[in-house]
Structure 1
Amino acid sequence: MTQDANEPTGSPFTAYERRKASSDSVMNNPLGGHFGILGLSAEAWLAAIVENSDDAIVSKTVNGIITSWNRSAERLFGFSAAEAVGRHISIIIPDDRLHEEDTIINHIRNGRRIEHFETIRQHKDGTLLDISLTISPVRDKNGEIVGASKIARDISERKRMVERQRLMLREMHHRIKNLFAIVSALISVSERSAEAPGSSFANDLRARVAALAAAQNFVLKESEGGSDGHASTSLFGLIDAILSAHQDKNGARIVVSGEDVSVNNAVLTSLALLLHEFATNAIKYGSLSVNGGRVEIEVSRNNGLALTWTEVDGPPARVPEGAAGFGSELERMTIASLRGSLRREWRPDGVRILVEIPDQLPRR
């Protein structure tokens, strides 16, 4: 491109860009060759645009010495213009990224523009910044490359959003994989018990899958409510989501007490199945099968999660006779997957179930 003889050395704009800005503004400006009521020249107007740009705009020599530094560069990197101009551009480059400057300078010396180069730069206080760089050669009036202009845009927030999305996708993948594994196990166990007297394969399986769906819906609402992608869920909230259909209008039929703890979402579906099994048995045989019966759930932390399910004012609890049924087999598998323990106490007015789950749970 032919250079204007009046083009100032080190200008971050080409003669064509200045002429274009000038002609466009004259066409739209009744004051003629000046810009607005301030009476700025084209060069001064463009300099004002650079100074007030939301992007950090920096110019430097081919040797990397900073020659201009706008206000956004001050905000982004922490150095004032007085501190930065005259110093080497490496003041904002981390040690492990210094090699990038050699590559950039080689491109500039060969007249090549670099667009949207994502990298890391450094604030005056040492904080690392994710930025996107666009770098253009700057030529003198003879067309010789004498430096470069850099536009730096902070993309830290965008990077954080991408990372949050990546973590959420990983969590979703893990959760869906667990759901498929659990549903597969449900079908296998249900199939084995389908021929038992009084069994209702379809209804039992449908109810258990519905419990899983309730748990997942609850987690989704928690995430939309601002959990910021953290992979944990309120246990009290989960209990309410699974058992609310069995609660009375006064909230007295199922009473939850103790410490509300955050439950790792990796084990949430397993806990949902356990709660569903406990409630199903209570409705069929326990305290929820009679008027006035109730369930008391107590949660505590003691080197892990401890949950006690106590049925009160119900029929006497009796040890089941014969082989373990569908629900018992499902409980056994679920507790095993959590590396936890479960034991029952058979009491005159209802069963008491004690569940303990260790703090550190391996991801499957």
Structure 2
Amino acid sequence: MRIFVSGPGFVRHNGELARLIGSFDWSRTRVGPISRWPPCLRSAVDVMLGANIQIVIFWGPQFLALYNDAYAPTIGTKHPHALGRPAREHWAELWTDLEPLLKRVLETGETVSAKDRPFYIERGRGPETVYFDISYSPVHDEEGAVAGVFCIVNETTEVKRAQDLERRLAAIIASTDDAILSTDLDMTITSWNRGAERLYGYRADEMIGRSVLALNPEDRSDEEYELFRRVGLGEHVPPYETARRRSDGTLVDVSLTVSPIYGGAGEIVGASKIARDITAKKQFERFQAMAMGELKHRIKNVLSTVTAIARQTFTNGDEERAATRIFDERLASLARAQDVLTTGSWEEADLRTVIDTALLPYSPDRFRIEGPAMSVGAHAVTALTLAFHELATNAAKYGALSRDGGLVSIHWQASRDLARFKLRWSEEGGPEVVIPTRRGFGSKLIERLLASELKGEVRLEFAPSGLICEVDASLRAEAAGR
């Protein structure tokens, strides 16, 4: 217990405020020098300086401020200038709020207290609303009159903000359609929101305290153990698609996200799980797959019918049979282009996949293919597939693919804005190329398809070392010209 010692200061107390109060020129204030302070003020200051809690004293009708070391950080840059000065000078921004509280104590002698009392204050970090637990008590002089206000405060700003955030999160969790639950590390369910009730069919009181494995289909129990293994390592498991069992025994398709829950000391104490019903999405995917399969089947039927008609029409001689064979090959190439589209999104496909599919009839060892990952639109898929078919057919007859050791290089690159691309087909190792005296159907088809359908430019060069085809075209031809 500290003993008050009269004298010019408060030498029995350690700390900055004991030194500042002891050295302050109080003779220039209404309270006068410390040696003339009334016993009630000396006792109040002695108690204040000896306390480890936040205390400020507002003395007399001017409410001169005295405070301890525990209180100083709460006023920021107001310290130390506020010491010994009328409160109105340094608490100006909240004076209309603070003055009535202080006057109430000073004039009535009653104690004013509140929990999480908001104050609008400026303390060097910009204006802010802060919260305090307060207890403002009267300090009586020897005649029983109230001479000052003894204020015990405790800032609760961070706690209040955390509580408000927790309430907002709780409201979000309660109102969301997503199923949100939490478990401890033993997989025991500890919380269950309304979204979980709607998705799984169980009430909260039916599930809290049960194992989360109750939701797993029999063939997916190992999945849960792997999830908790990852959570125990501090991993966040991003959304993935799985299935869970409802209260009626049926399965529901869900997108599941799992994250660790941390305790106050930073240790992992459990897991939070967010599940979203993706039944409609899975149904659409199944319908889409069925529709694509049906479309693919019908396209092949149409192409087969066209092929049969061509074979029945051109059967009179060798030239007709050769023409029919070429026609069949072109239809087969067109069918492969449709396969690429129906296997993907129908709207676009990866350029490398388009090239590999178009060149399926040939050995991959005969090609050197380089270029970045890049998607092309549906019209480009058809045009490029048919063009590569014509180029490869020509190379197999007259160019690099007609001789052992011949090689075809295919290289492409996209423009910086990803709106266009350049592609180069070049042959080497084949017979010496002779410039044709007339343009064949294949050359015309290549130029028409690539220049027209891709809204680009095509250059065919019959170099002695091998055919070169250069294309500068739009990546989204249908958007460019339709």
Structure-2-length-normalised TM-score? 0.36
Query: Greater Rg, structure 1 or structure 2?
Result: 2
Structure-1-length-normalised TM-score? 0.46
Higher RCO (CA < 8 A, seq sep 6+) = 1
